[in-house]
Amino acid sequence: MTNASGGFDLLHPVLQHHLVNTLQWPSLRPLQESAARPILDGVDCLLLAPTAGGKTEAAMLPLLSRMAAEGWSGTSVIYVCPLRALLNNLAPRLEDYASWIGRSARAWHGDTGQAARRQTQIERPDVLLTTPESLESMLVSTTVDAHRLFADVRAVVVDEIHAFAGDDRGWHLLHVLERVCHLSGHPLQRIGLSATVGNPAELLAWLQGAATERAGRIVRSPGSAATAEVGLDHVGSVEGAATVIARLHQGEKRLVFVDSRRRAEELGAALRARHVDTFLSHSSLSAAERRQSEQAFAESRDCVIVATSTLELGIDVGDLDRVVQVGAPRTVASFLQRLGRTGRRSGSPRNCLFLALDEDQLLHAAGLLLRWGQDWVEPVVPPAAPRHIVAQQLLALALQEHTLGRATWAGWWHGIPTMSEGPEILEHLIERGYLEIDDDLCFIGPEAERRFGRRHFSDLMTVFTAAPEFVVLAGREEIGSVGDNVLLADVVGARVLLLAGRAWLVTHIDWKRRRCFVESTDLPGLARWGGHGGGLSFEITRGMRDVLLGSDPTGVRLSKRAARVLNDLRRHEAEHVTETGSVLRRSADGDVHWWTWAGAAANRTLHASLSIVDPVQRIGDQVLRLRHGVDLRDAAARLRAAQTATLREPAVDASALRGLKFSAALPEPSAVATVAARLGDPRGAEIALREKWTSTSES
């Protein structure tokens, strides 16, 4: 094996032997070479490389070498993934690597059977693959001896760390790792694996948690930039998208990303109607249905799989030829993940074809691709003020240890800054009956039992909320799940669902047990779920404005249809954009609109801060409507006066508060403040408010 930088020579000799003779690798990849020394030295690391860049081996080969050389025993490495499917995909590979040095690796997640869990506790694997939720459940379970299971943990690998850090699952994971660290009695070496992010130093510091004084190293895959074939087309409808996908690249394996489960079902049905071998993957399909689709897709050749973001992460779906994006993802980082699913064969380029269903999607895609062409990627920013996670952690520790020391609980989190409000939240939990107190010891109280106690407190294990859905059953086979909105919608004649790309006639609904019984039918079906997160960032929205001002995304092939529609948009929107800032424009009915192009979060901050904005305005990415009766001159004067105003956080309604899990365990002002801090963008709002604007009127 060729070895320019010495990383291979640092690995355990047995691993060296198997890399050469079992895997027949001619060399380590550059990232694997560069990561070996700092990981073997016990340094916290963030490893950055595109999808399929060898990040797992870059982390695990040095850790297995340390394990063998230093005689680690028990469960010494925890490998955390965001998805069960990703764990299932990785487990056989890591089991092989561990077996080379006489060690073991085993997965534990929500689909792991009781027998396998008992075996894991009896014979602790050297490497434990799991999710944050399963890690939490192991800590609090009455059937798991967490003190024994985690006593020997030395290191943790967090795969796809960017997928955690951007939401509350990341905060949850960070706090759970501090509790594991407390049980092991020493700091954990922390290794994050990620695709390209805009702020790697901040992400590594976040991963280190309370141990920010420890050494940290960012290791990048050198020369990882690769050529990419990216196209943008305007197809006008789902049927148009199906026609293009069916005709293009026949004989190849195509992965198609869509923005919702409903769109996946509609497109899947349209492709099957065109006799395309089509599979589906989204979160409302049963695990068995998803596995069946993904396995069949991996083994097929001329076929399409339609997926939501469930296949964005590194789950292996075989030798992929093409990625197609219907619409556009919300972030450049998400696009890079999807683009990275292709180009894994030697000599084959990465590729992605965008298919816009309407003008809005075309402009969104063009703005996103403009930023991508400028080598810009979003920073990964953890959500502000995770007070509700603090409440959840206090309750979880009370479950784990059966008591919570009023004066000693903070030691479990080693001074992590997020726990600074812990004393006030603890007193609230005691006052409201979530915890009962006896001298200086706290116990789970009746209110916690009432709100979270169902199914052995399983609701306390996850920090995200999901709308209740009905399980769809064809006989005894679980097809997936649907929201009650599709079962309550008015229909004429039979009620037919569209699920897993097939139509199902509803034969019976068990409302009490939330089960829907179906049978196959040829009738047309309906797919409907609740809405998904909306709103674009300041940077992407400004990219859309730049496109309207004449910029074309670099390195993107525009179809004739896309170019024609973009040119039409530039003519129609010319009076809503200016290079110097924003636009105040009076419409024919007399209303004044403020075209900020600042993104939804910044516009929410402006809406909350300025009395001139219409209080019933529906907030979008591009424009705000001012109060009725305000004319252009008055609007300009009042905005000029507001340039020194103090920006306020957006108002919080009841539905937003319900979306914050465990908000009921917080004092209401704290819960409201937490949600408000996450809704706005004061930086973007300040830019929009301080910049120049142009005033125009419709003729």
Place of tokens 């290794």: 191
**Distance separating alpha carbons of residues 177 and 179, to the nearest angstrom:** 5
Reported in sequence order, the residue ranges of 501-586 that DSSP labels E, i.e. its strands, are: 502-510, 515-520, 556-558, 581-586
The predicted pLDDT at position 604 comes to 94
Tokens describing residue 218:
């960012």
Task: State how far the Cα of 196 lies from the Cα of 337, in Å rounded to an integer.
Answer: 9
3-state secondary structure (DSSP) of residue 467: coil
Predicted confidence (pLDDT) per residue in 78-109, tens digit = 999 998 888 988 999 999 999 999 999 999 99
CB 485 within 8 A of CB 531: no
CB proximity list for 666: less than 8 A, separation 6 or greater: 387, 388, 391, 425, 428, 674
Residue type, 448: A
Residue 291 near residue 314 (C-beta atoms within 8 A): no
Please report the pLDDT score of residue 230 as a whole number.
97
Instruction: Please give the mean pLDDT across all residues of the chain.
Output: 90
Whole-prediction pTM: 0.88
**344 touches 378 (CB < 8 A):** no
> How many other CB atoms are found less than 10 A from the CB of residue 352?
24
Tokens of 57: 């081996």
- CB burial of 619-628 (b: ≥16 within 10 Å; e: otherwise) equals bbbbbbbbbe
- pLDDT for 688: 94
Consecutive H or E run containing 419? none
- Cα separation, 271 vs 501, in Å, equals 9
Nearest to 383 by CA among 437, 449, 464: 464
Q: What angle do CA 378, 379, 382 make, to 5 degrees?
A: 125
Contact assessment for residue 101 and residue 67, using Cβ atoms and an 8 Å cutoff: yes
Please give the Cα distance from 288 to 23 (Å, whole number).
31
Residue type, 52: A
Confirm if 613 and 625 have CB atoms less than 8 A apart.
Answer: yes
CA 421 vs. chain centroid, Å, equals 27
Cα 173 versus chain centre, distance: 14
pLDDT at position 4: 45
**414: part of which helix (H) or strand (E)?**
none
**Residues 6+ away with beta carbon under 8 Å from 488:** none
Q: Mean pLDDT, 10 residues at a time, over the chain (699 residues)?
A: 70 96 93 96 94 89 97 97 87 96 94 89 96 95 94 97 92 97 95 90 94 87 72 97 94 92 93 94 83 81 88 73 94 91 77 97 98 94 93 96 93 93 95 93 94 82 73 88 77 86 89 87 79 76 97 96 97 94 89 94 94 89 92 87 88 80 90 92 94 82
The pLDDT of residue 539 is 97
Cα 378-380-384 angle, rounded to 5 deg: 125
The DSSP call for residue 651 is P
Q: Tokens 């065109």 belong to which residue?
A: 274
Give the burial string for 516-551 (b: 16+ CB within 10 Å, else e): bbbeebeeebbbbbeeeeebbbbbbbbbbbbbbeee
pLDDT at res. 468: 65
Q: Is the dihedral of CA 240, 243, 249, 251 positive or negative?
A: positive
